Structures are given as C-alpha cells and as structure tokens.
Amino acid sequence: DLAICNSVFPHFNNKAKALKEIARVLKSNGQLVICHTASREAINQLHQSIGGMVCADLLPDETELRELIGQIGLTVTSLEDNPKRYLIIAKKVTRPPD
C-alpha cells in the first residue's frame, strides 16, 4: 500500500488533517511518500517569490514534519533534502494489541 504526494504537500491548507486522512486509509505497513524535484529551500523560495496564493505554501522544516508524521502513527524511514530532490518516506506501523 502506497500514498504518494508528488509536488503537492505544501499546497494542503491543513497539512495535519491531510496526513491524518492519508494515515487512516493506509494499510498496516503501508508507506507515505512526499516528494519534490528540488530541495525544501528551493521550493519554499519559489513559492515565496511567486507571491499571491502560493506564497504561504511552504514545506515544513524536518523537525515539524517528523512531529506531524509521528502524531498520525507513521514513522519516517528516509529523508533526503538536496538540490535535486526532497523525499520523505514514512511507514505505517501497526502495533499488536495488548
């Protein structure tokens, strides 16, 4: 099971709500991929330079995104942020019942 957010994540008005819905529909051991074709810094600079409706559509910093993902029961398994790509992979780990 796989959910891919390719070049859309900054545009979600409520990122926490979007992540919660993705987590809800992912099966156990399913993966979430958030990706862009440039670094977080480049994407954020582009959106701010365009202005208008997208000027506030920013990728959160690593700490904030890890926290958001952790709050919905997923674990970040990989994070890349370099000039050629921004890539986060998170996995839904279902804990066995007590």
The sign one gets for the Cα dihedral 23, 27, 31, 32 is: negative
97 in a domain, yes or no? no
98 in a domain, yes or no? no
The sign one gets for the Cα dihedral 21, 64, 39, 53 is: positive
48 in a domain, yes or no? yes
Contact 87, 78 (CB under 8 A): yes
CATH code for position 64: 3.40.50.150
Residue 74's alpha-carbon distances to 41, 53, 54, 58, 97, in angstroms, are 24, 30, 27, 21, 17
pLDDT, tens only, 46-79: 999 999 999 999 999 999 999 999 999 999 999 9
Look up the domain containing 87 and give its range: 2-92
What domain count does the chain have?
Answer: 1
**Global pTM?**
0.90
pLDDT, tens only, 72-83: 999 999 999 999
